[in-house]
Chain A
Amino acid sequence: MSAEPDVPFAYDGLDRVIHEKARLGILTSLAGRPDGLAFNDLLRLCGLTQGNLSRHLAVLQEAGLVDIHKGYTGNRPLTEIHLTPAGRQRFLDYLSVLERVVRDASARAEQAAPGKPQVA
């Protein structure tokens, strides 16, 4: 996850499965929900169509990041989605790299600000 000294901005830890706008939204929605979320709640929170959400959930499930449980509440079908322990850890690793990206960008922007010495 840490960058090599000669390629400090490689950011290899930016997981491609997670690094997609919709999937990032799905994982962020699930982050604070240990009991998971219903499919319809995710639809509302992420602003996706049913087809799009299903497609992205399939990608996340295949990567082992989420569990999808299909059951019933009363007579109505209910699909619940949870972050897996591995998904939680990978999302956390991703966030740590993303945080480093933003801090690096912030440091570079400060250096490039008028009146600041430029670093080669």
Chain B
Amino acid sequence: MPDLDKALADIVEIKSRLAQSSQFLGLGPAALATSGVLAFAVAALQTVLPGAAEPIAYFTGWVLTALVAVGLIGAEMLRRAQRHHAGLADQMIREAVLNFVPAGVAGAALLAFFARFAPAQLWLVPGLWLILVSLGIFAAARSLPRAIALAGAWYLLAGFTVLLLAATDQSLSPWHMGLPFAVGQLLVAAIVHRASEATNVR
């Protein structure tokens, strides 16, 4: 039944176009703010725990933090997308996730590459991760509130600043991750919260 399959594909294509041109309301300020607080807490913990600045402990801590943050944000995204986007929820979530997947994959690949082939250069990773996050935000900016570009700019600036600071002694500092992510995630949460309120008023 190629005609029916073609008709279904056309309908899915139109829904995708609607999704691409709609503002994504699935990002929840609560989960975003929590991820920022979590980043700050992990940095504080790594500062006081002995051996936490060793590369394995350092990156294990931040990879686990990222997984928890993605889980929190993803769970709230599923709940909010169903509520705000109804019949378009699946398409909206897929579009949103696809925007961040390249940055996430590149971040994981960078860590694996440096750990395997250039462990002495692992100090580059936090700064590069921040730059990748900024690229993910800019990629998703079309379907997010306009002010989200500020958060993208913050992560970009923070990424290069961290690279500059880390280059002086080529070390891994918990605050090179904790501070930029805490500020960045709280900034994204504030932007999303403000946009949600504006939408509710409308």
Contact B18 A88 (CB under 8 A): yes
Q: Is the CB of B17 within 8 A of A31?
A: yes
Q: Are B11 and A99 in contact (CB under 8 A)?
A: yes
Q: Is the CB of A106 within 8 A of B87?
A: no
Query: Chain B contact residues: over half helix, strand or loop, or mixed?
Result: helix
Do the beta carbons of B15 and A106 come within 8 Å of each other? no
Residues of B within 8 A of A102 (CB): 4, 7-8, 11
> B40 CB to closest chain A CB, in angstroms?
36
Q: Is A20's beta carbon under 8 Å from chain B? A: no
CA distance A33 to B22 in the complex (A): 9
Chain B CB within 8 A of A41 CB:
no
* A residues less than 8 Å from B15 (CB atoms): 92, 95
Q: B8 near A99 (CB under 8 angstroms)? A: yes
Interface residue A34 (Cβ < 8 Å from any Cβ of B): yes
Chain A residues in 8 Å Cβ range of B7: 102
CB-CB nearest in chain A for B5: A106
Q: Indicate if A12 sits at the interface (CB-CB under 8 A).
A: no
Question: Bound state CA distance, A84 and B90, in angstroms?
Answer: 22
Question: Which residue on chain B has the smallest CB distance to residue A96?
Answer: B87
B99-120 interface mask toward A, CB cutoff 8 Å, 1 = contact, 0 = none? 0000000000000000000000
Asked if A40 lies at the interface with its beta carbon under 8 angstroms from chain B, I say no
Is there a chain B Cβ closer than 8 Å to A68's Cβ?
no
Which residues in A have their C-beta under 8 angstroms from that of B12? 99
Measured in the bound complex, the distance between the Cα atoms of B88 and A93 in whole Å is: 9
Contact A92 B4 (CB under 8 A): no
Tell me the complex Cα distance, A96–B22, Å. 17
Q: Is A91 an interface residue (CB 8 A)?
A: yes
Q: Which of chain B's residues have a CB closer than 8 A to the CB of A106?
A: 1, 4-5, 8
Question: Which residues of B pack against A, CB within 8 Å?
Answer: 1, 4-5, 7-8, 11-12, 14-15, 17-18, 20-22, 86-88
The 22 sampled A-B contact pairs (Cβ below 8 Å) are: A31-B17, A31-B21, A32-B17, A32-B21, A33-B21, A34-B22, A88-B18, A89-B86, A92-B15, A92-B18, A92-B87, A95-B11, A95-B18, A96-B87, A102-B7, A102-B8, A102-B11, A103-B8, A106-B4, A106-B5, A109-B1, A110-B1
